[in-house]
Amino acid sequence: MAKFNISRRDFIRLSSAVAAVAFIGISCDGGGGNQSSSDEAVMVYRLSVRGRRGSNASKKHNANHLFLTPEAADQNRAHPGDRSRIVSIELSNSRFNELFNGGATEVADLRDFF
């Protein structure tokens, strides 16, 4: 088996060049690959205690619920003293239809789906 004499500096240059080519190839293919144009992102909301002090009840509640509107999120807090923030996230259209029954329900309990 042949031995290659390559310095660490040369190895880093070569590996960064390969990574750059791979990155350019991935980012120029249109992004999705197998996503169709009808599978656009839909904005939904969740509660988050990240960066804040929160009760265990709030943490468990927030981990398992998504909301259709910010108002629905504000009305469905874990308890009256819950100080969770309302944050927005994007879901694919197909996932949104699965969780929210096409927009018919305002609250999606993730425990029902996993």
pLDDT at 18: 72
Tell me: the pLDDT tens digits for 70-114? 999 999 999 999 999 999 999 999 889 989 988 889 999 988 876
CB neighbours of 14 closer than 8 A, spacing ≥ 6? 6
Tell me: the pLDDT tens digits for 12-63? 777 777 776 565 654 444 444 444 445 688 899 999 999 888 999 999 989 9
CB neighbours of 41 closer than 8 A, spacing ≥ 6? 90, 91, 92, 93
Beta bridge partners of 109: 65
pLDDT at 110: 87
Model pTM? 0.62
